[in-house]
């Protein structure tokens, strides 16, 4: 059995199989999402979208960033599955794909805050 493989018992025939390819794909997806979070401006955009959808113009105004830069980061966040776009006329509205993204970012922030506290 390959090291670190997951075992699945197939319900129909009771056969146990290793699903290293599924595990590998899940790990790749996990790394892909983390790459989406691996930029300070993208984290700012995610935090800005915390309370609901916004246009690119709204995000630019809120963060005092150029539209081209915000659009590039939003494209990456969309590619990584962290935000979605909704078109309404000439405007695109961006929102988070899941509230769990905020919880994950907040949890990471808590971990970092604990690391900054002096050890007693």
Residue 19 or 68, more confident: 68
Q: What pLDDT sits at residue 1? A: 43
CATH at 53:
1.10.10.10
Query: Do 54 and 96 belong together in one domain?
Result: yes
Rounding to the nearest 10 degrees, give the CA dihedral for residues 65, 68, 70, 75: -170
Same domain membership, residue 54 and residue 9:
no
DSSP string of 6-46? -EEE-TTT--EEE-HHHHHHHHHHHHHHHHHH-SHHHHHHH
32, 43: one domain:
no
The domain in which residue 29 lies consists of 1-38
pLDDT, tens only, 53-100: 999 999 999 999 999 999 999 999 999 999 999 999 999 999 999 999
| 93 and 111 fall within a common domain | yes
Looking at the structure, do residues 69 and 33 belong to the same domain, yes or no?
Answer: no
In tens, the pLDDT along 4-18 reads 555 555 555 655 545
CA distance 14 to 83: 40
Say if residue 43 is in the same domain as residue 33: no
- Per DSSP, 90 falls in state T
Residues 32 and 56 in one domain: no
Q: Are residues 55 and 29 part of one domain?
A: no
Same domain, 25 and 66: no
pLDDT of residue 8: 54
Nearest to residue 72, comparing CAs of 113, 93, 41? 41
Grouping H, G, I as helix, E, B as strand and the rest as coil, residue 9 is strand
| Pair (56, 70) in one structural domain | yes
| Structural domains in the chain (count) | 2
């Amino acid at each position: 059995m390959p090291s670190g493989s997951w075992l699945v018992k197939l319900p129909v025939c009771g056969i146990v199989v290793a699903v290293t390819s599924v595990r590998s794909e899940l790990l790749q997806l996990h790394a892909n999402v983390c790459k989406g979070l691996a930029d300070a401006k993208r984290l700012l955009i995610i935090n800005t979208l915390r309370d609901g959808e916004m246009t690119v113009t709204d995000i630019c105004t809120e963060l005092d960033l150029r539209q081209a830069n915000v659009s590039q980061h939003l494209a990456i966040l969309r590619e990584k599955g962290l935000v979605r776009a909704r078109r309404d006329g000439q405007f695109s509205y961006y929102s988070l794909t899941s509230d769990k993204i905020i919880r994950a970012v907040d949890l990471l922030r808590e971990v970092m805050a604990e690391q900054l506290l002096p050890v007693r």
